[in-house]
Amino acid sequence: SQLEQEFERDPNTRELANLLDMDSQDVADTLKIAGRHVSVDAPFAQGDDNRLLDVLQNDGHLPDHGLNKDSLTLEVERSLSVL
């Protein structure tokens, strides 16, 4: 960021507040909310095979869902045309 380049280190809360024309406490609160980032593909713990991605619910269709539907539609149309 701009301040990292200028100071050659991570900026502190006061410096960020000055740059953003915000109250230092508001900046600190915002940084707390941001929390830490979590990779959905990383294991829960070192040496663990379980990942967040494995336990998150996925309501989306599988990638081949559309292909299967198209194939089934084609087969039904062919069968009906014979009748």
Residue 51 φ then ψ, to 5°: -125, 160
Note the pLDDT tens digit of each residue in 14-23: 999 998 999 9
CATH of domain 2-82: 1.10.10
DSSP string of 25-66?
A: HHHHHHHHHH-----SSSBSSTT---BHHHHS---SPPTTHH
Q: Taking every pair of C-alpha atoms in the chain, what is the biggest distance, in angstroms? A: 79
- Quote the pTM value: 0.41
What whole-number distance in Å separates Cα of residue 11 and Cα of residue 3?
Answer: 6
Note the pLDDT tens digit of each residue in 26-68: 999 888 887 767 788 888 788 888 888 888 877 777 778 788 8
